């Protein structure tokens, strides 16, 4: 009888061990997903800032922002084709990015998108002959 009881004890130890392994596996899986989302967010934010800095430093693109009517977004007719092309060429693959030009005081909000949206903004104040502060905001989401 002592041998049979001993086997039951080992089975209980094995069951407890397997339960712990399954819980650890679940926790590690969740941590992996969180890290993956954080890396994507970081990459998208860095790319958004790179695009905005490119517009800020390129005189032609900068003037296109300063001379545009506000509020204006890249889906509207009359938006600068140079800005559209620049954003399209520098966006991450699999992402759709939109530019909004508005006044510094306004919220510059995007509507009608139910996906996870990443945004960044920059203020552009003037060129050598024209002072008209503008807020340039980029919104990127998975296409």
Kind of pairing between the strands at 131-142 and 117-126: antiparallel
Mean pLDDT for 56-80 is: 88
Q: What pLDDT, in 10s, does the model give residues 70-93?
A: 888 888 888 889 999 999 999 988
- 3-class state of residue 75 by DSSP: coil
For residues 143 and 87, give the distance between their C-alpha atoms in angstroms, rounded to a whole number: 14
Query: Which structure tokens are listed for 114?
Result: 């139910």
Q: What pLDDT, in 10s, does the model give residues 15-41?
A: 999 999 999 999 888 877 776 666 667
Confidence of residue 123 (pLDDT cuts 50, 70, 90): very high
Residue 15's Cα: distance from chain center in Å? 43
Rounded to two decimals, the pTM is: 0.68
For residues 35 and 18, give the distance between their C-alpha atoms in angstroms, rounded to a whole number: 26
Q: What is the DSSP string of 25-59?
A: HHHHHHHHHHHHHHHHHHHHHHHHHHHHHHHHH-H
Our count of domains for the chain comes to 1
Residue 4, pLDDT > 60, answer: no
Q: Which domain holds residue 18?
A: 2-142
DSSP alpha helices (H): ranges in 58-139?
A: 59-66, 81-90
């Amino acid at each position: 009888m002592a041998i049979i009881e001993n086997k039951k004890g080992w089975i209980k130890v094995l069951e407890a061990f397997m339960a712990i392994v399954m819980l650890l596996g679940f926790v590690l899986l969740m941590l992996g997903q969180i890290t993956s989302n954080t890396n994507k967010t970081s990459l998208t934010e860095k790319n958004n800032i790179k695009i905005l800095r490119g517009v800020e430093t390129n005189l032609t693109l900068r003037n296109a922002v300063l001379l545009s009517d506000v509020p204006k977004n890249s889906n509207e007719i009359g938006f600068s084709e140079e800005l559209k092309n620049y954003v399209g060429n520098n966006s991450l693959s699999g992402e759709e990015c939109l530019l909004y030009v508005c006044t510094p005081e306004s919220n510059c909000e995007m509507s009608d998108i139910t996906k996870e949206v990443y945004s960044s903004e920059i203020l552009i104040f003037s060129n050598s002959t024209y002072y008209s502060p503008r807020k340039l905001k980029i919104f990127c989401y998975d296409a």
